[in-house]
Each structure stands twice: as C-alpha cells, then as structure tokens.
Structure 1
Amino acid sequence: MNALIVATIVLGLLVDQRWEPHGQWVVNLFAWAVLALLLARSEAARRPALLFCLLFATAGEVFLSLVWGLYDYRQHNIPLFVPPGHVLLFFLGTQIAARLPARSEWWIAALSAPVIVFFAWNGRDTLGPFLFGLFLACLWLSPSRRLYATMFLLALAMELYGTWLGNWRWAPDVPWFGLTADNPPLAAGAFYCVLDLLVVMAGNKWGQTPPPELAKVKSD
C-alpha cells in the first residue's frame, strides 16, 4: 500500500501538471479510488482517524488557499485530489514514523532551526519562524512526536516537488500579516503537523481507540 501511495502522489502531481486538459480529472478519480481502497483494507480502528483527516484537511485547504490566500493552485481552485492526498500522506507518515529512532524528533527540530532562522533573518521567509513555532507546539502538546517530525519532513519533500512542478505556488507576501514566504516555506510541514494533531485530538475526544500505527509512534 505504501508504494501505491508514493506512486499516486509522485505520478499524480506530474500528470496533473503535464497532461492538459484531462490530467487533473484523471488524478482526482485515481486519488479517491486509492483512498477508497485504503479505507476498505483498513481495520475498523484505523478508519476514524483517516476520516477525521479527510474532514480537517478539506476545511484547512479552504481556509489556507481560498480565504487566507497563503498559496494558490495552478487552476485557482482546490483540486479534488488534494483532500484524499492529505489522507494518503498522513497514512504514509504513520508507517514511516513507527520506524524512526526514539527522540529523533528533537534532532530534526534542532537541525531545521538554523536554516529557518537564517531565511527569516535575510528576509526570504519571515513566515518560517512562526510555522516552526507551530511545529514545536505540536511536539510539546502531544506524545505522537515522531509522527509530527516525520510529517514535517515528508510534507516538505512533497511541497518542494509540487512547487517545482508548478502544481501550486505560495504567495511571496503573506496576506494579513506583512510577512514573506518562500515557495515553499521550509517549515510548511507545520501545517501538516497541526492537521495530524487535530486528528489525534479528535480521536481522543470521541473515544476512538488509536490506530496501531499511532500507538507505535508515541514517544518515550
């Protein structure tokens, strides 16, 4: 399943960008089909987390892209493959995070900080420290720290790939706050960490048993 998810993301973004005018609709249908397959193959304990992720990701995309204007997709819409894509990336993150060494999340944070501070200092990405603060808050507030560290890096890789292809672009001037942002911000993965934190909190709120992957990634 992991290989299928990686192929869906990597090839899907390429098809969306390069195959006009039908590429986006092909990717839309395929992404939802892969999500349906994931849900069908998942045990009952895993499904609520995946559905919570779909709900929060959709709401987040509407706010961040259409309301705030923090980034804009190529066709000035929210492609229908994006919400299921978030769920697929979340699932992939849980698989990878369980394999990270204990306390590696703090090394990831420590190694990221100097670059983010430097880009803010030279004016290239003054949004970065605020996003990095969100990342640190996720590490502080929840025991699933290796999941957030994994998503911080995994999301950055996807952001670099998607913006390089031209599937979306971050606004250089951040609306409302007078900050600057790189394309993408190096700490863009913080938004994905917040998404995953909301998924974990929602599961706890509604009394859902954490999926085995989340149980494994809780830090010691």
Structure 2
Amino acid sequence: MHGERGVALGIVATIMLGLAADRFGGPWGQPLVSVWTWLFLGALLWRAPALRRPLLGCLLIATTGEIVLSLVLHLYDYRLGNLPLFVPPGHCLLYWLGLYVAPRLGRHLTTAIPWAAVGGVSILAVSGLDGLGPLLLALFLLCLRYGPAPRLYVSMFALSLLMELWGTALGCWTWRSTLPLVDWPVTNPPLAAGAFYCVLDLLCGSLRHPQTCHSA
C-alpha cells in the first residue's frame, strides 16, 4: 500500500515539476524531463509485470494518438512545435495513476464529476466558447455507459483535466482556438479533453488480465 502511494506521489510530482521544468528549464529542461519520464516508466514496467501489456499498449496507442491529433490534425501545438519525448511515457504514468485512484474514488465523486462535466460543457457550448466540447462529452458518456471500468474513466477524466489545465497554464502546449476544417471555437484546454484519455484507457484495459485490478 505504502509503495503504491509513493509511486502515485512520484507520478504527480513528475507531471507537475516536469512540465514546469520543460517550460522554464532552458535548453536542457525538455531532454532531462524526457530521460526521467522514460526511466520512471521503465521502473514501472520492471516492478509491475501484470501491467506490462497494458502499459506498453498505452505507449503505442498514445504515441499514435499524439502524432495524429497534434502533428497531423493540429488540434493543439507543443511549445517547440515538436512532440516532446516525455509525452508518450507520460501518458503511461497518468494511466497508472488512474488505476491507483479509481478504486479509491468515492461513489459521490463518481456520480458528481460526469454531471459537472455535462453542466460545464453545456455552458461553454451555449455561450459559443467551445464547439468541440459536446462531441468530447458524448465520447466520455459513451465510455461510461458501455465501457467495463466507469470509475477508471471518471478518474482519468478528472486527472487529465487537471493536467491539461496545468500544462496549458504553463504554456507547454496550446489548443488551437478553432477546430480545423469546421472552424468551431475551442477553449484552451477543452473542458472535456479527458474523453481522449478515456478512450485510451478503454483500449488499454482490453490488454489487462481480467483478474488484475492494480498490481504495482
């Protein structure tokens, strides 16, 4: 239990301090954060053999998703116009953190977070500030309705929103103000951006042994 808590705190610190180091660490900031994040992921893969398949699957899917969403579709841009090397393993760390948080998430939060998302996204959409939000919200609700791990999706939705708020506030990445091709307005970040992470976790969960909830 204490080991898992230490890993979880290490992931939180890696995300918060790593993004700050990327933004303000000068030319060595991003490379050092990338090395640390890959080493952290390597330690998790060695320490948690039951999660190796889903973590490696997460790495593959997240890398593909980042290439498509950022470099091809240009939904958002990273600070240096590249795909930072710490981003794909960072998705894996966030996935591990979601698995840790999910069974500890209270029932009231599991219910309240989706309702809060519906309210927030609706307000932004009606006010003309975010046209992408309703589509992402629908994706999130579909994961909750038909996916096998709704508590995990709620956890990831909330955790990823916090990470998005921190990363965009620092300027590590920026969402485009309009959605390409259709010219819909997009907030920076979209309130329902966590839907992308829910789909990622849904796909990764299919690689996890059914008897394995969390092993680390």
- Cα distance between partner residues in 1 of 2:108 and 2:143: 14
CA deviations on 1:82-135 (whole Å, 9 max, x unpaired) are 000000000001100111134743321112211110101111111111100010
Q: Summarize the alignment of residues 27-176 of structure 1 with structure 2, pairs less than 5 Å apart.
A: 27-42=33-48, 44-102=49-107, 104-176=109-181
- Counterpart residue number, 1:217: none
List runs of 5+ in structure 1 lacking aligned partners.
215-220
- Cα distance between partner residues in 1 of 2:145 and 2:181: 27
- Cα distance between partner residues in 1 of 2:193 and 2:58: 17
- Cα distance between partner residues in 2 of 1:209 and 1:46: 11
> What is the root-mean-square deviation in Å for CA atoms of aligned residues?
1.4
Q: Secondary structure at the match of 2:50?
A: coil
CA displacement at 1:62 relative to structure 2 = 0.3
- Cα distance between partner residues in 1 of 2:91 and 2:212: 17
Q: Is the Cα–Cα contact under 8 Å of residues 49 and 211 in structure 1 kept in the other structure?
A: no
CA displacement at 1:24 relative to structure 2 = 0.4
Identity %: 48
Q: Summarize the alignment of residues 169-188 of structure 1 with structure 2, pairs less than 5 Å apart.
A: 169-188=174-193
CA deviations on 1:1-32 (whole Å, 9 max, x unpaired) are 11111111111000000011110000010000
Q: Secondary structure at the match of 2:104?
A: coil
Q: Secondary structure at the match of 2:214?
A: helix
| Counterpart pick for 1:13 among 12, 19, 23 | 19
Q: Is the Cα–Cα contact under 8 Å of residues 99 and 213 in structure 2 kept in the other structure?
A: no
- Cα distance between partner residues in 1 of 2:168 and 2:150: 27
- Counterpart residue number, 2:212: 211
Q: Secondary structure at the match of 2:189?
A: coil
- Counterpart residue number, 1:197: 202
Q: Is the Cα–Cα contact under 8 Å of residues 65 and 71 in structure 1 kept in the other structure?
A: yes
- Cα distance between partner residues in 2 of 1:198 and 1:210: 17
Amino acid at match of 2:10: L
- Cα distance between partner residues in 2 of 1:82 and 1:124: 27
- Cα distance between partner residues in 1 of 2:104 and 2:64: 30
Amino acid at match of 1:48: R
Amino acid at match of 2:93: L
Q: Secondary structure at the match of 1:69?
A: coil
CA displacement at 1:40 relative to structure 2 = 1.0
Give TM-score, length-normalised by structure 2.
0.93
List runs of 5+ in structure 2 lacking aligned partners.
1-6
Q: Secondary structure at the match of 1:22?
A: helix
